[in-house]
Structure 1
Amino acid sequence: MSNHDREMKKVLLIDYFDIRSSIQDDKINFEVSDINDYDAVPFLGRSAVNNGIVDYVKRVPIKINNGGVITIALDGSTGSTFYQFHEFSSGQNIWILTPKGDKLSVFTPDIALFLVTTIRKAVTNYTYNLSLTKTRLSLIKVYLPLNEDDTIDVGYIQNRMSKLRHANLLDEISQERIVQ
């Protein structure tokens, strides 16, 4: 079977991801800043655009979520799923999906974007009227390329993602949100 024809398996999201609530608070409890403030962090809302970022806020250390995770909105723009490269603060009903270490050996931005796409496709039937809950999220099934030992096939994902135009730009994302 060629790499392009890889069979995908439909599996439970919860078998491959730890699902937890983000550290969250209402935006009104943050001091709004702007994108050019080096000490500000993105504030995520339940938006379907701009990576879920609805504003930038002053850093409140006890209300910071680590970057390098996938986020999903449970309501509002239900199912809006993004990879958060940098740390962030969050409004309500934003949940974090972290790949289980025994199921995924490497978690890079290109792998994350592949996973974001398959998760988005899996939750398209949920809307504002039928929002996601942790229970519903744990029952979601996604298509993943799996090895014989049921680990995610990183090589397949990297190969597919490398064929996308400008995918190499993912490697140029700075570790810092703003480079001085």
Structure 2
Amino acid sequence: MKMQRVPLIDFFEIKSSLQDDKINFTDADINDVDSLPFVSRTARNNGVTAYCETVAEKVNSGGVITLALDGSTGSTFYQHHSFLSGQNIWLLIPNKDRIGELTPQIALYLIASIRKAVSSYTYNLSLTKTRLNKIQLILPLTIDSKLDRKAVVDAMSQVRHVELIEEVPEERYQILT
């Protein structure tokens, strides 16, 4: 394994989320099977500040990393399930050729590297797409410049109770029968 400094854009497509102001969504109960998490620019609770009724044209697919450009600048989270989004939330869509499948464990490792890389940005010096295009990550790479997934899994195995994150259900809400 060799740790290398690499451009974020070599491993992720940076894309604006489908977004709207929170006031344009209708609040829903977290236990409502049809509700979706609303991801905002908070640094807490995986970025989720509410659950809202689904608005089909505003649904972002899961399996991505979200990044707040301002507010709690640099707040970075893994969104396993579909979600709704507030303004200035960007999506980091994994390059499958370089990363492979974005499992929760791999995502948490990448998030740690991304958070470190953007830690110098603040509310006064917010992130922009231009700045994101220049961000460098430090990652373990294979000889062919792909993410060394074995090194990541080995490193993450040292994290206490990390196996629990692999048990994230495929559906956000499952009805038990």
Scaled by the length of structure 1, what TM-score is found?
0.94
1:143-168 CA-to-partner distances (Å, cap 9, x unmatched) read 01011111110111111112211111
Q: Which amino acid aligns with 1:138?
A: N
User: Which residue in the other structure is 1:161 paired with?
Assistant: 156
User: Which residue in the other structure is 1:131 paired with?
Assistant: 126
Q: Which runs of 5+ in 1 are unaligned?
A: 1-5
Contact residue 140 and residue 148 of structure 2 kept, 8 A? yes
Q: Which runs of 5+ in 2 are unaligned?
A: none
User: Which residue in the other structure is 2:65 paired with?
Assistant: 70
Q: 1:179: how far off?
A: 2.0
User: Which residue in the other structure is 2:144 paired with?
Assistant: 149
Q: 1:37: how far off?
A: 1.1
Runs of 4+ residues over 2 Å off in structure 1:
none
For residues 136 and 54 of structure 2, what CA distance do their matches in structure 1 show? 36
For residues 143 and 51 of structure 1, what CA distance do their matches in structure 2 show? 23
Which of 16, 38, 53 aligns to 1:21? It is 16
Which of 117, 133, 140 aligns to 1:122? It is 117
Which of 150, 170, 177 aligns to 1:175? It is 170
Which of 29, 38, 41 aligns to 1:46? It is 41
Correspondence 1:9 to 2:18: no
1:103 counterpart SS class: helix
For residues 173 and 40 of structure 2, what CA distance do their matches in structure 1 show? 21
Q: 1:107: how far off?
A: 1.5
1:62 counterpart SS class: helix
Q: Which amino acid aligns with 2:87?
A: Q
For residues 7 and 71 of structure 2, what CA distance do their matches in structure 1 show? 24
Scaled by the length of structure 2, what TM-score is found?
0.96
Correspondence 1:30 to 2:25: yes
User: Which residue in the other structure is 1:86 paired with?
Assistant: 81
Q: 1:34: how far off?
A: 2.0
Q: 1:109: how far off?
A: 0.5
**Aligned residues between the structures:** 175
CA RMSD for the aligned pairs? 0.9
User: Which residue in the other structure is 2:52 paired with?
Assistant: 57
1:74-127 CA-to-partner distances (Å, cap 9, x unmatched) read 000000000001100000000000111221122211000000010000000000
